[in-house]
Structure 1
Amino acid sequence: MAPDAAAILALEDRRFQAMVAQDFAALDALIAEDLRFVHSNGAVEDKAEFLRKLRDGERRYLRYAALTREVRQEGGFSFVFGEADAEIARAGGGIRTRMTYTAIYRDAPAPRLFAWHSVKSPAAP
Structure 2
Amino acid sequence: MAGKHIDAVRSLEAARFSAMVEGDVEQLDSLLADGIHYVHSNGKRETKEQFLGALSSGRRRYRDIEIQAQELRQFGDTVVVTGKLYVELETATGSLASQMTYTAVHVREADEWRLISWQATRTASDS
* TM-score category of the 2 structures, normalised to the smaller one: over 0.9
Q: Which residue of 2 aligns with 1:6?
A: 7
Q: Which residue of 2 aligns with 1:117?
A: 119
Q: Which residue of 2 aligns with 1:76?
A: 77
Q: How many residues align?
A: 125
In structure 2, distance between residues paired with 1:66 and 1:124: 18
Report deviation, 1:124: 6.1
Is 1:90 the counterpart of 2:126? The answer is no
Q: Which residue of 1 aligns with 2:47?
A: 46
Q: Deviations over 1:43-86 (max 9, x none)?
A: 00010000001111111001011100000011311000000000
In structure 1, distance between residues paired with 2:35 and 2:57: 21
Among all aligned residue pairs of Structure 1 and Structure 2, give the percentage whose two residues are the same amino acid.
37
TM-score by length of 1: 0.94
Gap runs ≥5 in structure 2: none
TM-score by length of 2: 0.92
Runs of 4+ in 1 over 2 A off after TM superposition: 1-4, 122-125
Give the root-mean-square deviation of aligned CA atoms: 1.5
Report deviation, 1:121: 1.5
- Whether the 8 Å CA contact 1:82–1:101 is kept in 2: the answer is yes
